[in-house]
Amino acid sequence: MSFIAKKCGIQLQPPSIVLIYEDQAKNNIRKRIMPVRNFSKYSDCSRAAEQLKNNPRHKIYLEGVSMEQLQKLHSLLRGHLGGQSLIQSLEQIQLKEIIDPEENLNKLDDKELAKRKKIMDEIFEKNRKKKDDPDFVYNVEVDFPQDEELESCGWDADSDDEF
């Protein structure tokens, strides 16, 4: 049996993941409601998403749904259980996906650093120009204006005296 996921969302009461999918054998659209059990405002969203995706009852239906999307949906459910509105939960999820250029990545632990790198890779792939793109130009040369006088670097000025 092959199923193609079309839409995936949440139902707040009772807490559930809702999947709209197409059954290719019968060529019809169906809806599957997967209840999220033993989930509280203190639960780990990535672990809950992994358990749902690996559940034998739901595994074949969730093949077309990414783990990131399931984690985001669980984060929305956790925010609702914690008393946040849907808008507040969505804003909180979007803040996690933004990279602060002033943030010192050297101070992050390995798990957080891996998350930041994954976000940066996704942003890079989204913005990358490919050969098939209509606005792709090979060997672009850009001249930057130099209206102001170039500043000399002070860090290497003293190094001549040491040798």
* DSSP string over 8-25: EEEETTTTEEEEEEEETT
Which residues on neighbouring strands pair with residue 3, listed in sequence order?
23
In tens digits, the chain (163 residues) has pLDDT values of 689 999 999 999 999 999 999 999 999 999 999 999 999 999 999 999 999 999 999 999 999 999 999 999 999 999 999 999 999 999 998 888 888 889 999 999 998 899 899 889 988 998 888 888 888 888 888 887 877 666 666 676 655 555 5
CB atoms within 10 A of CB 50: 15
For residue 115, the model assigns a pLDDT of 87
Is the entire prediction scored with pTM above 0.75? no
Please, are residues 135 and 129 in contact by the beta-carbon 8 Å criterion? yes
pLDDT at 158: 59
Six token digits for residue 47: 């672990």
